[in-house]
Amino acid sequence: MNITVIGLGYLGTTHAVAMAQLGHDVIGIEPNAARVADLEAGRLPFYEPGLQDALTAAIGSARLSFATAHGESSKTAAVHFLCVGTPQSSDSNKADTSYLYSAVEALIPVLSTDAVIAGKSTVPVGTAAELAEHASKLAGHPVHLAWNPEFLREGTALQDSLAPDRIVLGVTDEHSENVLREFYAPITATGTPLLTTDLPTAELVKVAANSFLATKISFINAVAEVAEAAGADAVRLAEAIGLDERIGSKFLRNGVGYGGGCLPKDVRAFIARAEDLGVSSAADFLHDVEAINARRRERVVTLAQQTLGGVSGKRILILGAAFKPDTDDLRESAALDIAKQLDDLGAKVVVHDPMALPALVRQHPQWAGDQDVFAAASGAELVILATEWRQYRELDPFELGTKVGAKNLIDGRNLLDIARWQSAGWHVDALGRNIKNG
């Protein structure tokens, strides 16, 4: 099928590449000319495992091309996927949906009467119906607009696009449903469930899923606070409750909390939308979810101060900049939040990351450490693990111990083998645990 993918950020780029890999003919539309030039040259503008090779292959197969604006070829597209950003507004918790309106307005001149507009961006419930009305008015006829929320996870984005847990289609007309069912046939043929809903349900599915995940993380982080006060071990506790299949062990590891370009803004947008709809008390608990998340980062800063007797002037190495491993996405990263708090207290902060250092150099050059973790550690009096990269799990505490100024570690993700680090002479703290140092 001929399609366009509008907005080539993390979501749009992955969707465009994955759908070309499935055999569709894809034009990616993105106003950022530098990004389009990169993509045309086969350069992925961010790090995502497996996606660089898939991009190269898709360009090679001539199924994927890019443009800064719609041209004649957009007129032949059967589906236009909206993948533009919906960031938090600058002056409130609400999602900024203005990019969607701009994208739809630019689309109208090339929109054929049969083409389906399929929104994939995460939006406040009610956006799709308003967007459909706006587009229909501009087009002078009813447009086919569907909502098809995206559940990909950065780090496993390509696999999640090709083999998702489920496909959700919010539709109001049979034509849109038929076109999208045909479009996704290569995926549903392998057994992926496809659920059709109305527009508001499809919009809400995504925000509800992310709010649930954030709540699960904050739940175990709240338990970790109690465990710290009571002398219990929240890691062992999570193992025990996670074995109950009604609870499950995923997203149940206590640590410095959630971040990224989705969970924080989606939780806030959910709160804001519930207020608009007159049901603010339904989302009241999410204020606590956010507050718990913020407190865990503050806890690391408190531990750092206790360990060093104040952090001013002290060199502190933070392991990890990305909000999670296998991405170079720095949006709302817990690691950088901790870096900022320590910096504000006068610490000399150095941040290391296996993949996100180029992005860090662009955004916070003052913190960027050496690409070599042992060089970055030179003279540090405290090491804080903030992102659970596999490379850090495999880090040799004996070798690292020869580089630092003092062997103090805070494991903010409960990733490391504490006994091993202690046997290498490190003083170790970890969230939610009561670790005895000899």
To the nearest whole angstrom, how small is the minimum distance from the Cβ of residue 314 to ligand NAD?
Answer: 35
The yes or no reply on residue 218 touching ligand NAD (CB under 6 A) is no
127-156 binders of ligand NAD (CB under 6 A): 150, 152, 154
Partner residues linked to 368 by β-bridges: 351
* Residue facing ligand NAD at closest CB distance: 9
Ramachandran region, residue 144 (left: φ > 0; alpha: ψ -120 to 50; beta: rest): beta
Q: Which of 102, 302, 363, 437 binds ligand NAD (CB under 6 A)?
A: 102
The yes or no reply on residue 6 touching ligand NAD (CB under 6 A) is yes
The yes or no reply on residue 333 touching ligand NAD (CB under 6 A) is no
DSSP state of 251: T
The yes or no reply on residue 121 touching ligand NAD (CB under 6 A) is yes
The yes or no reply on residue 32 touching ligand NAD (CB under 6 A) is yes
Active-site entry in 220, 262, 272, 318: 262
Q: Which residues of 74-99 are buried (b: 16+ CB within 10 A; e: fewer)?
A: beebbbbbbbbbbebbeeebbbbbeb
Q: Pick the closer one to ligand NAD by CB: 323 or 426.
A: 323
Token duo for residue 104? 């739809």
237-296 binders of ligand NAD (CB under 6 A): 261-262
Q: Pick the closer one to ligand NAD by CB: 33 or 189.
A: 33
The yes or no reply on residue 171 touching ligand NAD (CB under 6 A) is no
The yes or no reply on residue 85 touching ligand NAD (CB under 6 A) is yes
Containing 316, the helix (H) or strand (E) segment is: strand 315-319
The strands making up 427-430's β-sheet, listed across from edge to edge, are 348-352, 315-319, 382-385, 408-411, 427-430
Letter for the amino acid at 253?
Answer: R
Measured distance CA(216)–CA(7) in Å, rounded: 31
To the nearest whole angstrom, how small is the minimum distance from the Cβ of residue 167 to ligand NAD?
Answer: 13
The Cα-based distances of 245 to 218, 237, 239, 250 in angstroms read 19, 15, 12, 11
To the nearest whole angstrom, how small is the minimum distance from the Cβ of residue 212 to ligand NAD?
Answer: 15
Pick the stretch among 81-89, 211-219, 306-314, 383-391 that binds ligand NAD (CB under 6 A).
81-89
Count Cα atoms within 13 angstroms, Cβ side, for 304: 33
Residue 262 known to be catalytic: yes
